[in-house]
Each structure stands twice: as C-alpha cells, then as structure tokens.
Structure 1
C-alpha cells in the first residue's frame, strides 16, 4: 500500500476534464486587457473624460486593476475546485501503542555518550514517552542475555517512567530475542511465530540435503507471518522503538525478527546509542573496545519500513526526539481530496474583489 501511494502523483484531479473551463478565464483576461487599452485610447483623444466617473485618486491608477485581477484569480480557483483536486498528504497517524525496547547489555555501560549509553537511552526513552498523547499506551521491553517485558503497555506514564528508571546493565545481548518480545507485546497473535524462531535457534543443528526451491516439502509450514502478508509499515496502530548499540551475541538473528515484523506491517524504529569509533570498556578486570554497530540497526529499520537515528552525544537528544516523535505522530500518507480548500479560497478572493471595488469605486466590479 505504501509503494502504491509513493507512485501516486503529489497532486491530481478526480475530474481533470473540467479544467477546460479555464479557457473562459483566459478569454475574460484577454477581454479585460483589450477593453482597458481601448479605454486608454479613448481618453487620450478626449482628455476631458480622463477623470470622469473613475473615482480613482490621483497617483493610484493601479487600483482599477486590483479587483478584476482578484476576480479572475477567484474564478480560476473555483474552476480548479470543480475539477476536484486531491493530494497525497502526511496525516496524523492513529497510533495506539508504542513499545520501547532498551538494550541493557554490558556494552551499554560505555561512556562515549554521557553519562553512559544506557542512561542516554533511558533519557531519550523518557522524553519520547512524555511526548505521547494521553490515549497512547507505552510498554517497555528490557533486553540483555535474555529479554522480558519490564512494563506492559499502559497509559499511565508514571508507571512506565518508573519501569524505565529501574533498568540496570546486565550481561549478554540477545538483540533478536528482544525484538521478538517487543513485537509480540505489540501483537500477541505473533507469539507462536516468535516462539518458533527462538526454538529454532536453540535446537541442535542437523545436516540435511537441500530441497529444491521449486519443489514444496510435503507438510512444511508456511513462512512465518505469510498467512496474511502485508506491506512493511502498513500496521499503523503501533510501532517498536529500539535503543541499542547494535551488538548481539546470543539468541536468534535480529534480521529474522525484523522479517517477522515486516511481514505483519510492524515498524521498528532503531536508535543507535554510541559512537562508531567506540571506547575501551573495562568490566571485571577485562577490557574490550565496544563500538556502535549501525549496520544491523539500519537493516532492521529499512526492512520494516521505518527509520534509523543515531544518538552519539547529549546535544543530539533533542534532534533525535523531535525526528522520531514526528514519525510516530505523522506517519500516515494518504490521498485526500482538497476541493473544499480551493472552494473556500475562491469564495474569499471573490469577496475581497467585491469589497475593494465598493471601497474604491462605489460599485461591484
């Protein structure tokens, strides 16, 4: 559906054949110019007629052209309205649920983003939470070596805020698990598909002869999410926002979770927390350089029809929040008829033309 809208012209008409009426505007404009020049020639031959009945103050000859010009513009606008114009616009989305997934892995202790990656992610999540309308439910998923729902979707912002504040760094990173939990929190009907992905990753690997792509395997289950496939991003009632540095060392691949989300229209916005240069992190006597892995975060966002943002310093927090909140608030493109707008504008221009003519000349046109 999104691809179809992208192919639509930004501006079009339901009844484009009615635009031929604009010929009358051209004829009226041409007639006015011809009559005005003829009037000027008559006045040139008869000087006594130059100021008779004009009602125009000396030094303001341009006034006589204002009302006719406004009238022609009003007529043009009304004819465009008759053709029923429509435009593809960004409309307020009817989002009902937002699930915030926060990475609690050890690498999120890094301080290349002050005061630390995790604290910066928590601050960004709280700012985003505070900006949501009262009718939007917000949930929190914590992901590390395992993933769990820290707060079920709720409209009580205080409860969600406390759940975010309680999050502490842990060990391991199961990015795929965290995304699957976030997706099923948003759409519980996908729990079976998510569990299958998790079990496949934990099951022992067996060698098997590859099946021919053209030959279906008898009794094989359809691909996950394929029962009612939809275009990526088509699910407008909710979205997932992931705050992570992109590193993962456990659980199913993040892209498998992204594909499940995409096949059900769920958008996963990703926020990369950290710097690409990274920093040396010391934990329990061991040290390692931890970097922001943007590749996987960008791939997850692109696959699900969402966007990727980077949070690498405190100054970027406001920019990331504004951009992300704008996507959540206005993320519905639709073709809308704007006939009423043109009709109202045409009527307003016609009224202005008549009022100015009465004010300056004591007559309507």
Structure 2
C-alpha cells in the first residue's frame, strides 16, 4: 500500500506519535526496574509491594498502542479497488442469421444454440445497461433499440429468421449508428455512456467480398475504434460444419481469422465457442467485463473496527490485570 492509496495520507504522520508513546513506555518501564533494584532489602520489598502480573502487565498497553496504530491508518482514509455494477452503459448484441447457422455441428443447431445463449446473456446483464439487438445476413437490421427492457430483447431473439449471405461490416455500422442515436438522447451535455458491440458469427463475410472495402468488416472495425466502441467477437461453430442448400451439402467452417482481426482492430476481445456450453461461458465472461467496472472506494472500515476492538480490549484487560487503566 502506497501513499496514493490513501485519501488523507497526512494523517499517517500521527504514527510518529504512536511510535514515540511506545518508546516512552519502554523507557519508563526500564527506569522503574532500575529504581526497584536499588531497594536493597528484598524481603521487605516483597512484603510491602503488591503482587505483580509479570510480563503480562504489558499486554494492555500493547493492545492500546496497536489500536492507536490501526485508528491512525483509518483516519488516513485507505482506499482499495472495488467492482461495482455499471448503471450507465450501452451494449449492442449482434447475431449472425445467415444460412450457415443451420449447421448441426453444434447441437441442436448453431442457430438454436446461439438464440438460447443470447437470451441467457440478456438476463445476466446488470439492470442498468441498455441492451440492443442487431441481426444480420445480407443486410443488417436493428430489431431492438438499446433498452433496459430485457423481455423485449428476448422476444425479438425468439423471432429471428435465417437469410442468405453475410454482411459483417453492415452489422457493425448499423450497431454504431444505434449507439450514436442513444448516446445523443442519454448523453445530453455530458459524455455519452460507454458502449460495446458483442458480435456472434460463424462464417466469413460475403458482402462485400473484401473486408477492407468501404462497407467491409475491417473498415467498420476501424471506425468503431475511432469512436471508442470495442467489438467483442465470438466465432461460433466448428471447422467441419455443413448445411444442405437445394439438395447440396455445403461446408461452412468457422472463420476465426477475420473475427479475430475485427476484434483486434476495434480494441476488443476475440472468443471461440463450439458448443452451447462454451458459448454460455463466453457470454458469462462478457457479462463480467461489461456489467461491472473497477473503481477505488473507501476501505477504512476494517481498520476502524480493528482499532476500536484493540483499544477496548486493552482497556478491559488493564482493569482485569491491574485494576486500573494503563
């Protein structure tokens, strides 16, 4: 613990006084011991001097000094990092609804598992976070504008429908626009609330072909970085997934590299999941990252309680052992 961890470090100077009292007590005890040794008639001393509690007589004073030390630290206002729920943030949950999500390499299908985990994620977020929903295939649509109403989001998840192609860049641009709209309403004259995009996909972008194109995923990720909106991407599925389209079996392996790059370009995090259980764990991790923030708060109470208890114990013990206060 450093001086920066105290709200009022100047109070720590009082520790010098506590140390001085401890030194003074030791010197006084030594002085009294010398005076007693000068009393030559030890037999008479034993008759006139009251019985002494021995070395235990120092315990009450030690407890009181320890209490003063702890109370001094409490006065200095120690602080510590604390995790507190966010009550002002925006999260856009983006779900890929392209036809590749019909793959059954994840039971029962990628699509059904993604919907189940997404609803769990919505329920697990702290109540103060505004959650929005964007679905994308060949285009992207805002199905639910950011809101604290989780039932609205879960209902929209239940009604998701699959479609052709994958426009990852459009999904990100649409999410950024939704965040800006809410920020203009909630932010007012103050800074807009922090925001994040959570994007789940299983395949490579197909619209446009080049992710560095004007509306491509990499371009959108760079814009998200400029606007301070990190993107947490989830690559969902396996490398051996297939779908049947018009009596033709088509391989639909997950595309980790592009989703990892989107996360890196935006300053976000990349995750993989190949089962419903793994996906739920990823969402649990994101709930912790998004739903809580670390702040420095007052940590003086334990020092105060211990200081009072030590001081009280020292005084009580002094009355028991010596019939007087130290």
TM-score interval w.r.t. the shorter chain? 0.7 to 0.9
Distance in structure 2 (CA, Å) of the matches to 1:265 and 1:89? 24
CA contact (8 A) 2:129 2:291 kept: no
Which residues in structure 2 correspond to 1:226-245 (within 5 Å)? 236-245=193-202
Q: Deviations over 1:37-95 (max 9, x none)?
A: 8889979x8895999253x9xxxx76x56544443333223333444444454433223
| Greater radius of gyration (CA) | 2
Secondary structure at 2:232's aligned position in 1?
A: strand
2:104 counterpart of 1:111 = yes
2:103 counterpart of 1:140 = no
2:60 counterpart of 1:73 = no
> RMSD over aligned Cα, in angstroms?
3.8
Distance in structure 2 (CA, Å) of the matches to 1:10 and 1:236? 31
- State TM-score, norm by structure 2: 0.75
- The equivalent of 1:248 in structure 2 is 205
Cα displacement (A) at 1:351: 3.6
- The equivalent of 1:179 in structure 2 is 172
Cα displacement (A) at 1:128: 1.3
Aligned pair count reads 306
- The equivalent of 2:223 in structure 1 is 260
Distance in structure 2 (CA, Å) of the matches to 1:23 and 1:295? 60
Distance in structure 2 (CA, Å) of the matches to 1:274 and 1:51? 85
- The equivalent of 2:123 in structure 1 is 130
Residue of 309, 313, 316 corresponding to 2:275: 313
Structure 1: segments with no counterpart, 5+ residues: 1-8, 192-233
Q: Deviations over 1:270-292 (max 9, x none)?
A: 222123x4434433233343333
Structure 2: segments with no counterpart, 5+ residues: 185-190, 209-214
Secondary structure at 1:98's aligned position in 2?
A: strand
Q: Deviations over 1:135-187 (max 9, x none)?
A: 44322110111100122333333322111011122211111111111121122
- More off after superposition, 108-117 vs 26-35: 26-35
Distance in structure 1 (CA, Å) of the matches to 2:103 and 2:97? 11
Distance in structure 2 (CA, Å) of the matches to 1:142 and 1:104? 6
CA separation of 1:294 and 1:359: change in aligned 2, threshold 3 A: farther
Which residues in structure 2 correspond to 1:31-180 (within 5 Å)? 52=51, 54=53, 67-180=60-173
CA separation of 1:158 and 1:349: change in aligned 2, threshold 3 A: same
The answer to which structure has the higher helix fraction is 2
- More off after superposition, 311-320 vs 45-54: 45-54
Distance in structure 2 (CA, Å) of the matches to 1:300 and 1:351? 61
Distance in structure 2 (CA, Å) of the matches to 1:151 and 1:348? 55
Residue of 287, 290, 296 corresponding to 2:249: 287
CA contact (8 A) 1:95 1:328 kept: no
CA contact (8 A) 2:166 2:203 kept: no
Cα displacement (A) at 1:22: 2.8
CA separation of 1:10 and 1:250: change in aligned 2, threshold 3 A: farther
CA contact (8 A) 1:77 1:342 kept: yes
- State TM-score, norm by structure 1: 0.68
Secondary structure at 2:5's aligned position in 1?
A: strand
Distance in structure 2 (CA, Å) of the matches to 1:318 and 1:10? 42
CA contact (8 A) 1:18 1:79 kept: yes
CA separation of 1:189 and 1:96: change in aligned 2, threshold 3 A: closer
